[in-house]
Amino acid sequence: MNDSASAAIETGLAALTRGDLDALERVWDSHVTLKAVEPGPWDCASRQEVMALLHLRESQRPPGQPRAVKVTRHDDATFLVSGVGGAEGTATVVTVANGRVIALQQVTAAPGDTGGCCTWWPTGRDIPRAARRWCTC
């Protein structure tokens, strides 16, 4: 990985797996957004709001919960990150521009997904076509 999008993902994931939220914050654009699977109070419209949510989630993390994540690159600017927070069946579509994370969209995995061949969809949201279908079985 040598482009700015990959570098942002690599840096952010390394920080996330260490639980280093300060280092993670450095890869967020100041106007980064985070959209939950369902629209509502967990949606964030700025880096400050995203960081407040991440600090809350980190404070609620059970001791010893795995921090391993899987990253699937879809195109030059879009990545699917799964395994964050230990929630089964959820993942985050991460969009990067100019070396900064600009958008996070949480999505739900289709029932029966196996072996990395997944269909991803958000409920109650319209997201880019690239994030709707990641591969075909």
- Read off the CATH number of the domain in which 73 is found: 3.10.450.50
Residue-level pLDDT at 131? 42
Domain that holds residue 104: 4-132
> What domain count does the chain have?
1
Residue-level pLDDT at 29? 94
Virtual torsion, Cα 21, 26, 30, 35, nearest 10 deg: -40
Per-residue pLDDT of the chain (137 residues; tens, 9 = 90+): 447 778 888 888 788 778 888 988 999 999 999 999 888 999 999 999 999 998 998 888 888 777 777 888 888 889 888 876 555 677 889 999 998 999 999 888 654 443 343 444 444 444 444 444 433 32
Residue 137 falls inside a structural domain: no
β 28-35/100-109 pair status? parallel
CB atoms within 10 A of CB 90: 17
What is the reported pTM? Answer: 0.75
